[in-house]
C-alpha cells in the first residue's frame, strides 16, 4: 500500500417537491450538509458517509436518508459512481475518495425532519450554493437524469401517493421539468400510455364535479439489479 488510502463513500441526492419561496410554484428541493472539517470546511455538500465494512451500498444510502430526513426510502436508486483522480484537492493530504451516489425521492405526504439537526438545510435544487468536491457536477447530473427519466419511465409517481388526480400528476411533471404543460394534451398522453388506471373513486371535499382518482397500472419497476434480472426487461418498450 502507498501512503494514499482509497476511501469508498456513499452519498445520496434526496429530492422532494415543495413550493418555491418566491413564486409559490412547486419545485425540487434537496437537503445539504454543511462541512465541519477540511477540506471545504464551511461549504455545503451532499449528505453521505464512508462505506462501513458491514454495509451494502444501499444500506449506507438508506442510513444517510434516515439521518438527513428521518424517513425510510420509498424510492431509492443508484445513480452513478464518481471516481475522478482529482476529486479531493491536490496536496491536501486527503485520501482518494470514490463516491457511489444514490438518489432518493420523498413523497408529497412525507414530512422530512433531520435527525442530526443543525448541519442539515434544505435548498431549492436549481438554486443550490456552490458545493464542496465535485458535488456541483453530481447534483447537476442527478437533476439531468431525473428530468430525462421523466420522459420514458414512471418515476414521476415516486413523488405521489398511491392515488392521485391527473392534475396532481401533471403538477409533478411541471415542477420537475420546470415548464407548463397543456392539461388536455397531458391528459390524452397519459391515458394513451396506459400507465395509469382509474380507481373508480373521486377526490372528496371539493367542488360539485370532483376529479377522478387514478393509480399506477403496474408499480414503478425497481432499478435494483437482482430485481431487474428477476423481472425480465421492465423498461423495454414495445417494438413490433
**Under the rule (CB under 8 A), what is the footprint of a copy of itself?**
2, 4, 6, 8, 51, 53-57, 78, 80-85, 96, 98, 100, 137-138, 140-141, 144-145, 147-152, 173, 177, 181-182, 185-186, 189, 225-226, 228-229, 232-240
Q: By C-beta, is 212 or 231 nearer to a copy of itself? A: 231
Between 36 and 230, CB nearer to a copy of itself: 230
Kindly state the smallest distance separating residue 91's Cβ from a copy of itself, in Å: 15
Nearer to a copy of itself, 4 or 163 (CB): 4
Tell me the angle at which helices 183-193 and 166-177 cross, rounded to the nearest 10 degrees.
110
Could you tell me the smallest distance in angstroms from the CB atom of residue 97 to a copy of itself? 11
* Closest C-alpha to 171, from 19, 13, 23: 19
Name the minimum Å distance from CB 83 to a copy of itself: 4
Collapsing DSSP to helix, strand or coil, 215 comes out as: strand
Q: What's the rounded Cα separation, in Å, for the pair 60 and 58?
A: 5
The least distance separating a copy of itself from the CB of residue 153, rounded to whole angstroms, comes to 9
Least distance in angstroms from the C-beta of 201 to a copy of itself: 26
Which residues are CB-neighbours of 236 under 8 A, at least 6 positions away?
none
Of the candidates 74, 69, 73, the one whose C-alpha atom is nearest the C-alpha of residue 115 is 69
The residue (of 185 and 206) whose beta carbon lies closer to a copy of itself is 185
Number of H helices, E strands in the chain: 5, 9
Q: Minimum distance between the CB of residue 178 and a copy of itself, rounded to whole angstroms?
A: 11
Closest CB 70 distance from a copy of itself, rounded Å: 25
CB nearer to a copy of itself: pick between 200 and 225: 225
Q: Is 24 helix (H, G, I), strand (E, B) or coil?
A: coil
**Is there a contact between 7 and 53 (Cβ–Cβ < 8 Å)?**
no
Which CB sits closer to a copy of itself, 146 or 158?
146
Computed on alpha carbons and rounded to an integer, the radius of gyration of the chain in Å comes to 20
Distance separating alpha carbons of residues 68 and 78, to the nearest angstrom: 18
Alpha helices per DSSP H over the chain = 57-69, 135-152, 166-177, 183-193, 225-231
Across 20-95, where does the E strand assignment appear?
A: 26-34, 44-45, 48-50, 75-82
> In terms of CB distance, is 121 or 127 closer to a copy of itself?
127
Amino acid at each position: 500500500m502507498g501512503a494514499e488510502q482509497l476511501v469508498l463513500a456513499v452519498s445520496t441526492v434526496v429530492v422532494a417537491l415543495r413550493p418555491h419561496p418566491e413564486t409559490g410554484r412547486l419545485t425540487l428541493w434537496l437537503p445539504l450538509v454543511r462541512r465541519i472539517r477540511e477540506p471545504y470546511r464551511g461549504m455545503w455538500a451532499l449528505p453521505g458517509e464512508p462505506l462501513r465494512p458491514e454495509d451494502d451500498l444501499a444500506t449506507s444510502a438508506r442510513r444517510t436518508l434516515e439521518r438527513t430526513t428521518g424517513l425510510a426510502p420509498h424510492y431509492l436508486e443508484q445513480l452513478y459512481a464518481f471516481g475522478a483522480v482529482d476529486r479531493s484537492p491536490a496536496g491536501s493530504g486527503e485520501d482518494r475518495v470514490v463516491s457511489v451516489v444514490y438518489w432518493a425521492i420523498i413523497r408529497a405526504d412525507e414530512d422530512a425532519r433531520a435527525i442530526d439537526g443543525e448541519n442539515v438545510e434544505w435548498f431549492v435544487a436549481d438554486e443550490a450554493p456552490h458545493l464542496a468536491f465535485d458535488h456541483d457536477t453530481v447534483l447537476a447530473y442527478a437533476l439531468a437524469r431525473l428530468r430525462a427519466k421523466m420522459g420514458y419511465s414512471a418515476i414521476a409517481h415516486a413523488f405521489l401517493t398511491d392515488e392521485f388526480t391527473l392534475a396532481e400528476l401533471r403538477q409533478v411533471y411541471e415542477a420537475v421539468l420546470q415548464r407548463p404543460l397543456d392539461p388536455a394534451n397531458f391528459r390524452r398522453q397519459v391515458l394513451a400510455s396506459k400507465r395509469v388506471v382509474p380507481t373508480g373513486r373521486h377526490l372528496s371535499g371539493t367542488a360539485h364535479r370532483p376529479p377522478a382518482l387514478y393509480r399506477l397500472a403496474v408499480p414503478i419497476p425497481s432499478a435494483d439489479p437482482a430485481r431487474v434480472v428477476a423481472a425480465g426487461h421492465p423498461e423495454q418498450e414495445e417494438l413490433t
